[in-house]
């Protein structure tokens, strides 16, 4: 995770960003701290990336890389405003002595990649259409040695896979069908017949931008309907307020890069 010490909405690179809407940075830090404390309280270890001036979106740490079984596929951001973040993430993994592979293709890390380790032997779900190029899906497959399923995003509000779909445990997912092309919806139905299906209200509340450890699902507190669906499916929803960071087009998952050893 990376503290939003320098967080601001200084440009608009997704439909949620509005440069005329003021951001309360102090409140953003408090809300982010509460998210970090929630993860620690659930028994997880949180590593911190040092925020850098001039990179106001660094708080969205999930976008900096994608990690599977100790191998790291680095990010290459689409927009120049975020390009500098990639080096900070690379440096973190280098310090940890992780196997890091720099990308040739444009991709935004866990923003557009999700891993479901026990689904069909271990699947990477990969989004394209707005940020990550489809060529990066093939590159990720070569780097990580896991089959990659390409899913086309069609609604600019859901510009990353992680605002439309999330892994709930080692074998199942939750997603909003309307974010995907008709063909991609059919693929998801085939792969995950027991998936939790979110509706438009859930998605617009950034409910899909969640993190789950298989039992506890940390999600945006505004997504009350989705929290109910997850509870009914046997998960423990853990709501967290992230209204300030939502102004940049992200929520819980965007703030968390998962380190899969």
Phi-psi region of 107 (alpha: psi -120 to 50; beta: other; left: phi over 0): beta
What is d(CA 159, CA 181) in angstroms, rounded to the nearest whole number? Answer: 13
Q: Give me the residues paired with residue 100 across strands.
A: 72
**Contact at 8 Å (CB) between 255 and 61?**
yes
Given 128, 137, 160, 255, which residue is catalytic?
A: 160
Active site residue 160: yes
From the list 121, 203, 107, 205, the residue with the least C-alpha distance to 170 is 121
Catalytic residue among 120, 254, 255, 261: 254
Pairing of strands 236-240, 216-220: parallel
Distance between CA atoms of residues 201 and 18, nearest Å: 21
**Catalytic residue ranges:** 160, 254
């Amino acid at each position: 995770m990376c503290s939003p010490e320098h967080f601001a909405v200084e440009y608009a690179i997704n439909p949620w960003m509005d440069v005329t809407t003021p951001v309360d940075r102090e409140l953003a830090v408090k809300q982010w701290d509460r998210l970090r404390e929630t993860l620690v309280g659930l028994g997880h270890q949180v590593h911190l990336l040092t925020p850098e001036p001039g990179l106001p979106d660094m708080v969205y740490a999930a976008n900096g890389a994608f990690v599977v079984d100790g191998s790291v596929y680095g990010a290459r951001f689409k927009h120049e405003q975020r390009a500098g973040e990639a080096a900070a993430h690379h440096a973190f993994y280098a310090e940890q002595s992780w196997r890091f592979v720099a990308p040739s293709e444009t991709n935004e890390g866990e923003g557009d990649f999700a891993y479901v380790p026990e689904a069909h032997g271990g699947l990477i779900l990969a989004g394209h259409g707005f940020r990550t190029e489809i060529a990066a899906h093939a590159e990720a497959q070569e780097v990580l040695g896991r089959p990659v399923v390409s899913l086309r995003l069609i609604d600019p509000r859901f510009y990353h896979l992680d605002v439309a779909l999330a892994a709930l445990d080692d074998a199942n997912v939750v997603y909003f069908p309307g974010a995907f092309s008709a063909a991609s919806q059919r693929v998801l139905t085939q792969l995950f017949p027991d998936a939790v299906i979110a509706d438009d209200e859930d998605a617009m509340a950034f409910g899909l931008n969640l993190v789950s450890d298989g039992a506890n699902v940390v999600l945006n507190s505004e997504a009350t309907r989705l929290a109910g669906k997850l509870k009914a499916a046997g998960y423990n929803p853990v709501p967290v307020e992230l209204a300030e960071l939502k102004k940049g087009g992200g929520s819980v998952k965007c703030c968390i890069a998962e380190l899969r050893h």
